[in-house]
Structure 1
Amino acid sequence: MDNTMDRRALFRGALGVAAASVLTACGGGGSSSGGGVSNAGKQLVPWPAYVPFAGPKPDAAGDDTGVQNLYLKYPETLVQSVNDTVGDGSKVTALVVTYGPPPTPVTQNRYWQAVNKALNVDLQVTVVPDPEYGQKMTTLMASGSDLPDIIMFTNLALPHSLEFIQASCADLSEFVGGDAVKQYPNLANIPTYAWKGMGRINGKIYGIPLERPTPANSLFVNRTAMNEADIPETWTTEQYLEAMKELSGDRKWGLGWFKTLFGGLGSITYHAGSLGAPNTWSLSGGQFTTTLGTPQFEQALEVMRKLVEAKTVYPDSLTVSSTDMQTHFHNGTVASMQDGFGSMSLATLTKINGRFELGMGYPYGPSPTPWQGPGMFGYVTFKKAAPERIKMLLRISDYLSAPFGTKEYELANYGVEGVHFTKEDGGIKTLELFQTENNSTLPFRYIGTAPSVIYLPGHPETARAVYDWQKATLPKSIADPANGLRSATAVSKGAQIGRIAGDGIAAVVFGRKPPSAWKDIVTQWRNAGGDQVAEELAKEHAAAQ
């Protein structure tokens, strides 16, 4: 899975501000209510009907709190979810982000060739490295010409992207709104929360969301080290602080943080949620109030400050990269770290390589409110074209969104049996070629993706532990009420006000400013645009009711 993507959700938590709108809305502009892309006062296209895929029977079932289906073994029998011809043999171009090395060219790439054959198109994918994605998209939107057929948008803030989408991309409302989506069964299997997380533009639906599970960034722990120190799975605030001390010393630390997008610390989200703080915003009587000014958020800052003072935090946490901190966690230098939920993956377990048992950290407060993510990483849009072409592009996304338990899912996620993987002992075992030809180096999952399940081949105990963690924490979890809403100020001033909050968090936690300075930081954030964002979100929320 793509843990780097899920760290976007961590960025929003680090800001604890308009970031929910900055990184979820991905655009805006115009008047204070979002101008031409606002949903206020517009007729709203109904969300696509949700028709869940029955699928193979799980070892333990998910539920409507966000708990995922658990599979301890790979299904013995797969079904076919797409029976009609997908493409028309034409060339289809796509632009997506990548967080890994570039793919092998299609002429030498058996995975790419197999997917093209299954789709019956010549799918030409341009992958843009994450650090270059913002500039590439800005240039693309400015040119307005030679657009690819499929354009993937992440949760990265891109000013005026919504206006661009409205002007240059196909309105999908008539194809997927309400019951119309049933023509594309795998798209109808995308949960409503993902569509809502993507949001509408001017009341209409312009994209297909790339679903992500409900848990946001989470605490990952070295369960082996904790067991050896007799640290329980569940803990109080005091027990948590003592546990981090117990795990620190001899050039090892209880936990590691890393620098986020605007210089803050994304780890604040775990602590704020543990202590009952609202998820970015609270909504009452139609009014939005920032979590930054709540007593629970201040308590989270206090806990983090105590962790630093006790020397339980990796000393270079303000400068170390997320990739390096992951390495420190994988090799046991730090006993815990916070990262996107997608890091609970086979890729992470492979990097740990049996050195310890991977676990999830439970919230420690008496009345926790674990923070949920927006339910999607981003979405794909299609260049304006004739209806028949748009329908074909939708069929491509539908195929690649096929759920776990289908033949299409197997091809999209593991490649060709005998070439990229084999099936052994009730599970998938990847082969050498899979290391270079896979859904990360060639991310078809950014054109369409299935709702995820808990399946960790070769690690059934870890999978069961993740399921138990979800069952215990998700019923108490809360969503950000601003998900999918538009705010022009969040786009135009989001970086500025986000930096105020992020730098303020770091300054208080690491002792550069006293805790009493936090109230002034929140006031500065409000005056710089935070209060205006709250007003705009209230208008958008009222329109969506």
Structure 2
Amino acid sequence: MDHRIDRRSLLRLTGLGALGLAAPSLLSACGGSAPGGGVSNAGKDLTPWPTHVPFPGPTPDAPGDGSGVQPLYLTYPDRTVRSVHDPVGDGSDVTVLVVSYGAPPKPVGDNRYWQAINAALGVNLEVTVVPDPEYGQKMATLMASGDDLPDMIMFTNLALPHAAEFVQARCADLSEFVGGDAVKEFPNLANIPTHAWQGMGRIGGRLHGIPLERPTPANSLFVNRTAMDAAGIPKDWTTEQYLDAMKELTGDRRWGVGWFKTLFGGLGAVTYHAGSTGAPNSWSVEDGAFTHTTTTPQFQQALEVMRELVEAGTHYPDSLTTSSTDMQSHFHNGTVASINDGFGSVNPSFLNKINGRFAPDLGRPYGPQATPWQSNGTFGYVTVKKADPARVKLLLRVVDYLSAPFGTEEYELANYGVEGEHFTKEAGGIQLTDLYGQENNSLLPTKYIGVAPSVLYLPGHPDVAKAVHDWQKATLPRSVRNPGTGLRSATEASRSAQLNQVLGDGITAVVFGRKPLSAWPDVVAQWRQAGGDRVAEELAAEHAANR
């Protein structure tokens, strides 16, 4: 079997666009100023994080907890409540730029979902939807131009050069509106947990965006539980049992491993394996000093496991050139028994595509000293155009409405559409109609303008929801956060391509047998000399300033 790959394919596999350096995150990952500069937080008076005022919400079937376990809902609430009692808009046009991962939305004149959202908000949303492959170039052009900006812009986790400087210079400083107790004017924004604001980070000590919250788990291992049960594979496994399982599941035109890197900063296979072997989440910090995960023996052990998987031929042979959509399809139809994917794929659309062929589940980490990696807690953030305070507050009310929590009328509209048209309620659950497939908050990505803190409710899949909740309870108490989350590094912003290439080429050589595992320290030394040590120093300065 030919295991040759190129560097670009490996970066898709491992997600080194994020792993290569800190994943310093979002607002903070994109600047180019040295510590102490305009966008650095070092030496600045820091706006307090918004006060967290949780929405009580409906009683779950099983509670969440502080480790990141989500509240579990096996059925939809019998009744919903209103979270927005005052008018939102003033009938004006609101221009928005968002990313999209699907087909373009139907025009507003033919789109009952869009019409209903406009009516509820009291504005005319004019949404520019940018397909993901074009997003980076579109944003670069927008930031380089002197053109008038949209009222709201959604920034993804994609590291855009000088984005922090752009946001600071041309987008509204929201500190006086959402910092500390000021956020209480927008109750649904106050419901956003603190970890999401911290994941977004500050610019120059100030708050310039509203985070799009995501659950605690980072990229996860999705598994075919039916196939695993048939092979006698336990849920809790050792490293050896994991390797044996992937070999056992390979054969008769099925492969145990379908390596898969998700969009935006997902670390793919590296996330799962490095977390299983106990490697720190991107960075560790001790006495204020930052150490990168790739310099640790635990990370090297993860490479050894991945190399053994390759040598045993357990991975889908074209996994490095297969698109993410096609790899998901291979999982849905049983061609591969496991894939690494973003935790966000725990959703009805993903599960419906399995169509009952098998019971899906999430794989637990395999090492005795596992440190499962947490996400940075956001999918991106939304900025607001500079304007007079009344206009800024109107735009924040739009975000507030779309961020309404589970159990509210506003959440129901934003996520499911209009009852009787896009969904019905039957036997205590949401039943989506065919129209929903044509009109929803993915095709018209209102969920990238504002989004509720996530809960675990999977319409039509209560058994999967229960299994995922059990997985969270078993996994998340041991999980670790990246201490670089919310911090920024000028060197990372300016040298990320070079630093990523060093690591990407090194992992290619080691995992696929071009170099021995003993060559990995040389790769690390090259990375450190190319700027990795400088990144660590800059993150340490930011970390000290953000305490």
Q: TM-score, normalised by structure 1?
A: 0.96
Q: Give the corresponding residue for 1:532.
A: 534
SS at match of 1:216: coil
In the alignment, the residues of structure 1 paired with residue 373 and residue 366 of structure 2 have an alpha-carbon distance, to the nearest angstrom, of 13
For residues 44-68 of structure 1, the C-alpha deviation after alignment (integer angstroms, 9 at most, x for no partner) is 0000000000000000000011000
Going from structure 1 to structure 2, the CA distance change for 1:143 and 1:263 (only over 3 Å counts) comes to: closer
The residue that corresponds to 1:4 in the other structure is: none
Q: Secondary structure of the equivalent of 1:267? A: helix
User: How far, CA to CA, are the matches of 2:13 and 2:154 in structure 1?
Assistant: 20
CA spacing shift, 1:121–1:262, aligned 2, 3 Å? closer
Partner of 1:315: 317
The CA distance in 2 between the partners of 1:484 and 1:404, in whole Å, is 26
Cα distance in 2 for residues equivalent to 1:19 and 1:284 = 15
Tell whether 2:449 aligns with 1:447. Answer: yes
**Structure 1 unaligned regions, length at least 5:** 1-7
Question: How many angstroms does 1:25 deviate by?
Answer: 2.7
Please say if residues 13 and 261 of structure 2, whose CA atoms lie closer than 8 Å, have aligned partners that are also in contact: no
RMSD: 1.8
Alpha-carbon distance change, 538 to 265 in structure 1, aligned in 2, over 3 angstroms: closer
- Calculate percent identity across the aligned residue pairs: 71
CA shift for structure 1 position 425? 1.2
- For residues 36 and 366 of structure 2, the distance between their equivalents in structure 1, rounded to whole angstroms, comes to 39
Shift of 1:264: 11
Question: Aligned partners of 1:265, 1:60: CA distance in 2, in Å?
Answer: 30
Aligned amino acid, residue 347 of structure 1: S
Q: 1:36 deviation in Å?
A: 1.2
Corresponding residue for 2:439? Answer: 437
1:396 aligns with 2:412: no
- Greater alpha carbon shift after TM alignment, 185-194 vs 321-330: 321-330
Alignment of 1:82-93 (within 5 A): 82-93=84-95
Q: Map residues 142-153 of structure 1 onto 2, 5 A cutoff.
A: 142-153=144-155
Distance 1:61 1:260, change over 3 A: closer
Which residue matches 1:223?
225
Distance 2:423 2:12 in 1: 31
* Equivalent runs, 1:24-43 vs 2, <5 Å: 25-31=28-34, 33=35, 35-43=37-45
Partners of 1:100 and 1:129 within 8 A in 2: yes
Q: Give the distance between the partners of 1:90 and 1:68, measured in 2 at CA.
A: 37
**Are 2:24 and 2:486, in contact at CA under 8 Å, matched by a contact in 1?**
yes
Normalised by the size of structure 2, how large is the TM-score? 0.96
Q: Distance in 2 between matches of 1:318 and 1:325?
A: 10
Conservation of the 8 A alpha-carbon contact between 2:88 and 2:398: yes
Distance 2:345 2:46 in 1: 36
CA contact 2:13–2:259 (8 Å) conserved in 1: no
Conserved 8 A contact 2:26-2:199: no
Once structures 1 and 2 are overlaid, which stretch shifts more, 457-466 or 41-50?
Answer: 457-466
Residues in 1 aligned to 2:15 and 2:288: alpha-carbon distance in whole angstroms: 22
CA separation of 1:165/1:24 partners in 2, compared to 1, >3 Å: closer, same or farther? closer
State which of 458, 481, 494 in structure 1 corresponds to 2:496. Answer: 494
The residue type paired with residue 104 of structure 2 is P
C-alpha distance after superposition, 1:455-484 (max 9, x if no partner): 011111110010010011000000000000
**Deviation string, structure 1 residues 235-268 (Cα, Å, up to 9, x no partner):** 0111111111110012211111136789997201
CA–CA distance in 1 between the matches of 2:484 and 2:504? 19
Could you tell me which runs of 5 or more consecutive residues in structure 2 were left unpaired when the two chains were aligned: 1-10
- State the Cα distance separating 1:10 from its structure 2 match: 8.7
How far apart, in 2, do the equivalents of 1:442 and 1:307 lie? 40
Residues 296-335 of structure 1 deviation map (CA, whole Å, 9 limit, x = unaligned)? 1011111111111111111122222211111111110110
Question: Counterparts of 1:11 and 1:409 in 2: how far apart (Å)?
Answer: 35
What's 2:5 paired with?
A: none
1:326-405 mapped onto 2 (5 Å cutoff): 326-405=328-407
In structure 2, the partner of 1:419 is 421
Q: Which amino acid aligns with 2:250?
A: S
2:360 counterpart letter in structure 1: L
Match of 1:511 in 2: 513
Given the superposition, is the C-alpha separation of residues 194 and 39 from structure 1 closer, same or farther in structure 2, using an over 3 Å criterion?
same
Alpha-carbon contact 1:10-1:269 (below 8 Å) kept = no
Aligned to 2:482: 480
Name the aligned partner's letter for residue 111 of structure 2. N
1:17 and 2:24 equivalent?
no
**2-structure distance, mates of 1:145, 1:222:** 50
* Number of equivalences: 537
| C-alpha contact 1:403 1:451 (8 A) present in aligned 2 | yes
Which residue number in structure 2 is paired with residue 5 of structure 1? none
Do the aligned partners of 1:221 and 1:361 also contact (CA within 8 Å) in 2? yes
Distance 1:236 1:11, change over 3 A: closer
**TM-superposed deviation, 1:528:** 1.2
Task: Note if contact 2:487-2:539 (Cα within 8 Å) is conserved in structure 1.
Answer: yes
